[in-house]
Structure 1
Amino acid sequence: MIKIKPHHFMDIIKLYGKGIEMFIPDDKYNHNFYYVANEIIKNHHIHIKITLEQDDICLPCKYLGKEGRCIDTIDHINDVSFKNEWNQIIDNRIIENSNVLANSIHSAHEYCKILYSVKENIFDVWKEETNSDKYDRYNYFCLGAEKYLGIL
């Protein structure tokens, strides 16, 4: 079972929609995004546990602080300086908009199907981002979800 934050799952599907079929390690963060993404892409029936805390991607990340929070900083969202704060905001919005509770368990396919059914909420979840970024996120998420779910 993979423990994953909602926005990490959506990022995986978005990047899959951009054409990434095989994820590679990231030297900048040293996290497990590549490993988790590859597992989710190759095994649609893998069980995932939705979390608002650190997940399997975060565990080895060099920006994971002692208290299990991301200590990386951001500067693209007004009044938000830390990535952990931004991640909590968007993860809570995803949970609220999808009606999927934290700590619930789903197959990756099932969770993708749920998120795809409420895909228009991407514009509300990431409302602080530029319109261009929101449209790109929406379009690539839709492409990735359609490919993942076999809709294409």
Structure 2
Amino acid sequence: MNTDTSHQSTESSPECPDSVTRIRQAWRRVVPVAITLAVWLAFFALASGSVAAQSNVGDVYCGTGVETGIGIVFGAVAGLGLPATGFYVGRAGLSYMRAGGNPEKKNQAKEKLVMSCVGFVIIVLALISPELIDKVGSQMGFGFSDCVRPF
């Protein structure tokens, strides 16, 4: 008869690594979000100080390469991003229609469709956010200069 107690303690310990693994996985999700939030808060804290001192943000960029770069970047987002999003939404829709009764293929197609729609929302928000920020800023006493508005 084996009376070794160390063997019994290892049988009851599999719960411990599972909980440690779950905690590690939770931290892997929380840490990047916390770092991103801290960076954005620091950006807003620094940016609000310089914005408060100016009436029109971006006047210093008028007539420089930054003004041209803003136009190029937003033109590229609108010119390339929107058609690409339409292509991927259409492709995901066709994939969903071809899935037939296969639930695995349907779920994959739904996931692709949702991700394509999320990409479309991100592109639209990127295009309209400068105007929204300008509207809110004008209510608070500052606004963007005409040369840094993309459209």
TM-score by length of 2: 0.21
TM-score by length of 1: 0.21
Structure ID, larger Rg: 2
Structure with more of its chain in helix, by fraction:
2
